[in-house]
A and B are shown apart, each in its own frame.
Chain A
Amino acid sequence: MTEYALILISTIWVNNFLLVKFLGLCPFMGVSRKLETAIGMGMATTFVLTLSAISSSLVNDWILLPLGLEYLRTIMFILVIAVVVQFTEMVVHKTSPLLYNLLGIFLPLITTNCAVLGVALLNVQEKHTFLESAFYGFGAAIGFSLVLVLFAGMRERIRVADVPAIFQGNSIALITAGIMSLAFLGFAGLVK
């Protein structure tokens, strides 16, 4: 049980995918302008990341390894991720058309979110079991959503702040992201 808790803590804070591993920065900058959108994007990504971590671990253990096709791993995982994203898009379109409109192009773009493929490949690299893979994917997604929502909250406040002219727009957002990343590096001190 402890190891699962450790995986969660590690992926959410210590090895946060966005701020420490720098994976998935495209939606981090793209959909963090509004808090509601960021929450929706966080939920969609959580769903996709967990499901794709589980299914790519299954595909790896039950199909690729027995057949000796490890070299097909990347293309197979991309296939799995694309299917999961497509499925998520249909579900979101059906259940919440407003969220579907708000997320726009960023919903199909979860396919190319490198955090998703990164989780699947890191699972294999670190020889995680099925359950560990699921927790790793879920923790990574929670960490991603947490940072995305925090960042969106800050950006909403920054928009009304008196920012010097040269820092306005994306530059202040990038600087904020850098400072957040520094702050998250502090969690590395948890591990001794």
Chain B
Amino acid sequence: MSVLIAVITLSSIAGLFGLVLGYSAIRFRVQGDPVADKIDAILPQTQCGQCSFAGCRPYAEAIAKGEADINRCPPGGTATMLALADLLGVEPKPLAEEHTGEPIKTVVYIDEQTCIGCTLCIQACPVDAILGAAKQMHTVIESECTGCNLCIPPCPVDCIHIMPVKVQPETWRWPLPEHPPGTAPRVSAL
């Protein structure tokens, strides 16, 4: 009889706990990967692929899994890297070697004499900065071009060239702050 009481007590309590856990599993369900979402929100969303991933979202997922470093996003620059380091609690590192140095802002232009109108560069452009149609000459909208150079490899006749952007009074902008808002610059003690 006492064994029966023991068995019934133990199994009913276990069942009760199971119900509680089942309820809280529904109540506290986690959708997707919240870390990757937060990283993705920091990245600049140019989808330029300079980090060697297919776009910002795959790069964010790779960072969240710990497979990629935080310093591979040239469009975001130092500000993005510092924001990522702050979010993930890791040490900030300088941008990866191939991205060091003050980047010279470049755009591409299409040599219109050579262009055969194949539309391959239009499909490659992540920001729709190339205008044109099949068998028609293409051209680049300079103000839209982000300088990601993704249109150069697909071109079969190599008619796309890189051109540095000349700073003119109407294109000049205030330089970005070195530190993203909310992170005070470190002042070294005298």
Q: Could you list which residues of chain A lie within 8 angstroms of chain B, going by C-beta atoms?
A: 36, 59, 63, 67-69, 72, 75-76, 79-80, 83, 86-87, 90-91, 93-94, 97-98, 101-102
Contacts and interface: CB of A to CB of B under 8 A. Distances in A.
B20 A72 contact: no
Interface of B: 2, 5-6, 9-10, 13-14, 17, 20-21, 24-25, 28-30, 33-35, 87-89
Contacts of A86: 21
Residue of B5, B6, B20 contacting most chain A CB atoms (<10 Å): B6
Contacts of B35: 97-98, 101
Contacts, number: 49
A145 to B, nearest CB: 19
Describe B's contact surface by its main secondary structure: helix
The 9 closest A-B pairs by CB, nearest first: A94-B28, A90-B28, A83-B17, A97-B34, A97-B35, A93-B30, A90-B24, A69-B6, A86-B21
Describe A's contact surface by its main secondary structure: helix
A72 B28 contact: no
Contacts of A80: 17
A101 B10 CA distance: 34
B120 to A, nearest CB: 41
Given A69-B9, A98-B89, A91 B28 contact: yes
A148 B6 CA distance: 39
10 contacts: A67-B5, A67-B6, A72-B9, A83-B20, A87-B24, A93-B30, A94-B30, A97-B30, A98-B89, A101-B35
A69 B28 CA distance: 34
Contacts of B28: 90-91, 93-94
Contacts of B33: 97
